[in-house]
Amino acid sequence: MATILDVAKLAGVSQGTVSNVLNGKGNVSSEKIRIVEEAARKLGYTINEQARILRKGAGKIIGVILPTVECRQYREFFNSLKYYADGHGYSTELYLSNNSPQTELEMIQKAKSVMVCGIAVITCLNRRNNLYQHSGLNNVRFVERRPGFPADYYGFDYKLAGIHMAKKILSKNYRNIVVITESEKYSNEAEYLKGFLQETEKEFCGNILQVTTDIDQVSHSVLNLFASEEEIDVIVTTNIGFAEKIRQLTQSFFSENQVDIHTLSPVVSLPEKDFKKYELNYSLLGREVASDIIHFKGESAPEDHIFDNDGERNWKNIDIQNDKADCLNILALDSPESIIMQGMAQFYTEKTGTKVKIAVYSYDEIYEQFADPAMSSLYDIFRIDVTWLSWFSEQLLLPLEEIDPDIKHVFSEYLPTLEDKYCYVRNKIYALPFSPSSQLLFYRKDLFENIAVKRIYQEKYRQELTVPRTFREYNQIAAFFTEGTGFDSNVRYGTHLTLGNTGVAATEFLARFFSHKDNLYDESGRIVLQNEIGKKALEELVEAQKYAPGKTSKWWTNTAKDFANGNVAMMINFSNYASEILGYNSKIVGNVGFAMVPGRNPIYGGGSLAVSRYSRHPKNALAFIKWITREPVASAMAALGSVSPCVKTYNKYDIINTFPWLEFSKDCFSLSRTKRLPETNPKPFDEKRFLNIIGSAVKNVTSGLLTVEEALTRAQHMLDHDLEI
């Protein structure tokens, strides 16, 4: 096995230089970095990760002790904890106890040997003395199973889960119930059984058979149960790992006797038809445990942290209020969410019998549909761009409070910053948020973190290569990657621009304008672009064009797909189009970084869903909108590549792990300070005309037809004469 000394000899440098290169430290020239990396590759040298952990010392490692990873809820908990830890510069060490007290004691010593800063444990020890504390481990979080002594504990209301599941079982009129749990010595199992039996004792007259087992024995236990020819109508279990094994067993050996299975489960983002699930958010549990371990401030009084049960989420929980419709017609923008909405709408049809037809149009085409009364009157629901809400609300939309006076109650599910931006127009609620999105900076993380690339940039500009904070830095980095000299990369362009129509071209300009100034207007409320800020923003955009592909990207979807091809270093795009980066033929999966746009004042975009004034079934239309913009459907949309307005979506590991920028983007809504108009403006604002004027100025300059000064002068004249504010 090659050593660091072997690498140093082959590269002709000192061991210290090799160490600095491999660990990303020290002031090493780009040429030496290249030589060392080449030598390491030839020798097959890899860094000993365990040795690196030990060198780092205590403070950056979290130990996690689990009974097993065979059960989905434990995987969900660990993956969420690890994701949070990784994002905060911590590593994780996973240990499996297999529910063996002796093994858990050994795991405690192993965790101590690598100097963990804290431990999360689902314990199988049943002792009154705190062996973790006796071993010198104080930052310990006990999860799901309570220890026999006061400690920081994290879990759910298992007794309430038992009560709720019992009520569900009783409502189905089952007569023969089998309840399968782990040992009652574990507090969560005991609490669940107490709630379940307490509820069934009130009125149940059938048979309840209790089975205690574990993940290794559950198949054998159930096999014996079926072989005994016990009457079984339903199986209830506290562990989805049990449920999965039971279903597999019954399908393989007892296919003629497929009993219903009800189970506790982690939150599932997409609908599954295998079991009836009562859901508990293990993703949120893992995240909060990791956060508390990392931010540990020293010993304090032990606390219980009991998280809300999500419960049995009903994918077809729809209230159409006696407004039966054969069909709902929806006008939607061509975007990832429109395709996903078409798929999800089948659940609405299954529940209500109402067909859902979705007409999909491009950005320019959909505006014409809105503007033409003969066409807009065909629809029950509009997917309306957030920038058009002010202009079209009073012309085309029905205030939602006229349909449902209590409509505000749905806001409790949404991100709190969305109401003003996506719902209200002049103090009336016209829409609900459907695809709220924000501009983000996306970049090639593998390039920005490459030691050789960073060193070349340092040598060229005497500055560190970091994610740009201003558009001046953005253009400098774009120039660097466009030149692409001195490092091995397939990147040909530093950036990409979306300039296909006047609307998107205007947005590229406004992103730069708002990096310098929060609003567009002067003291009198007049929109002013012909000033130093407007000139600087347009000049920055023109310069960026030098470092972008010559073929103009027509729409945000195209820009994301081009970025996925791997020949562009950076782009600015909206979060609701970013899932295209991870398409089936993407060349940059695993290497996508994301950050706040330069200037830290992102433009928000996306759209809302609203009821047409012409709809013959407004209650049914609103029922659809409430259903698709809330849980659990909103999270399912996000899991498939859209975005979600709901708070709970951003606590789900599977979604955030797949599309990690979503969690970041939700914070951008509160950080955005962009203002098109004075807040006191009482009139509708023709955003389309406004964007056309700005976009035309941009395209006239980028095509070489006008100078920056000429284009801004012309645009200012049109703004003053064509737009009434």
- The pLDDT score that the predictor gives to residue 486 is 58
pLDDT tens digits, one per residue of 261-319? 999 999 988 888 788 999 999 999 999 999 999 999 887 889 999 999 999 887 777 77
Q: How far is CA 335 from CA 8, 332, 340, 638, in A?
A: 53, 8, 9, 13
Q: How far is CA 442 from CA 449, 550, 552, in A?
A: 14, 20, 18
**Average pLDDT of span 661-678:** 84
Q: Which of 441, 443, 435 is nearest to 335 (CA)?
A: 435
pLDDT tens digits, one per residue of 411-421? 999 999 999 99
Q: What homologous superfamily does CATH list for 471-577+585-604+677-722?
A: Periplasmic binding protein-like II (3.40.190.10)
pTM for the whole structure: 0.85
pLDDT tens digits, one per residue of 537-586? 999 999 999 999 988 889 999 999 999 999 999 999 999 999 999 988 89
State the DSSP H helix or E strand holding residue 564, giving kind and residue range, or none if neither. helix 556-564
- The pLDDT score that the predictor gives to residue 45 is 72
State the DSSP H helix or E strand holding residue 66, giving kind and residue range, or none if neither. strand 61-66
pLDDT tens digits, one per residue of 447-479? 999 888 998 999 899 999 999 999 999 999 999
Span 158-279 CATH architecture? 3-Layer(aba) Sandwich (3.40)
Say yes or no: do domains 57-156 and 471-577+585-604+677-722 share a fold.
no
- The pLDDT score that the predictor gives to residue 230 is 77
Residues found in the chain = 725
Q: How much is the mean pLDDT over the chain?
A: 89
pLDDT tens digits, one per residue of 184-235? 999 999 999 999 999 998 888 889 999 999 999 998 888 888 888 778 899 9
548 DSSP assignment: S
- The pLDDT score that the predictor gives to residue 725 is 58
**β strands within 78-169, DSSP E:** 91-96, 118-121, 140-143, 153-156
- The pLDDT score that the predictor gives to residue 616 is 92
Q: What homologous superfamily does CATH list for 57-156?
A: Response regulator (3.40.50.2300)
- The pLDDT score that the predictor gives to residue 132 is 92
- The pLDDT score that the predictor gives to residue 364 is 82
> Which residues neighbour 470 within 8 Å (Cβ) at sequence distance 6 or greater?
515, 598, 599
User: Rounded to an integer, what is the distance from CA 675 to the centroid of its chain?
Assistant: 26
pLDDT tens digits, one per residue of 112-145? 988 999 999 999 998 888 899 888 898 999 999 9
Strand ranges of the sheet holding 327-333, from the earlier edge strand across to the other edge: 355-361, 327-333, 381-385, 607-611, 432-433
- The pLDDT score that the predictor gives to residue 688 is 84
- The pLDDT score that the predictor gives to residue 584 is 83
- The pLDDT score that the predictor gives to residue 680 is 64
- As a whole number of angstroms, the distance between CA 134 and CA 58 comes to 18
- The pLDDT score that the predictor gives to residue 516 is 95
- As a whole number of angstroms, the distance between CA 121 and CA 101 comes to 12
The yes-or-no verdict on residue 52 having pLDDT over 70 is no
- The pLDDT score that the predictor gives to residue 667 is 87
- The pLDDT score that the predictor gives to residue 558 is 93
The residue ranking higher by pLDDT, 316 or 611, is 611
State the DSSP H helix or E strand holding residue 231, giving kind and residue range, or none if neither. none
**Sorting pLDDT into bands at 50, 70 and 90, what band is 678?**
low
pLDDT tens digits, one per residue of 333-380? 988 889 899 999 998 998 889 999 999 998 888 888 888 888 888 999
Q: How many helices (H) and strands (E) does the chain have?
A: 30, 22
User: Can you give the residue ranges of every domain in the chain?
Assistant: 4-47, 57-156, 158-279, 327-436+606-649, 471-577+585-604+677-722
The yes-or-no verdict on residue 719 having pLDDT over 80 is yes
SS3 92: strand
- As a whole number of angstroms, the distance between CA 449 and CA 452 comes to 9
The yes-or-no verdict on residue 510 having pLDDT over 90 is yes
pLDDT tens digits, one per residue of 231-259? 889 999 999 999 999 998 888 877 666 78
The yes-or-no verdict on residue 2 having pLDDT over 90 is no
The yes-or-no verdict on residue 443 having pLDDT over 80 is yes
Task: Decide: 441 and 563 in contact? Cβ < 8 Å.
Answer: no
Considering the chain, what percentage of its residues have pLDDT values greater than 90?
64
The CATH number of domain 327-436+606-649 is 3.40.190.10: yes
- The pLDDT score that the predictor gives to residue 451 is 87
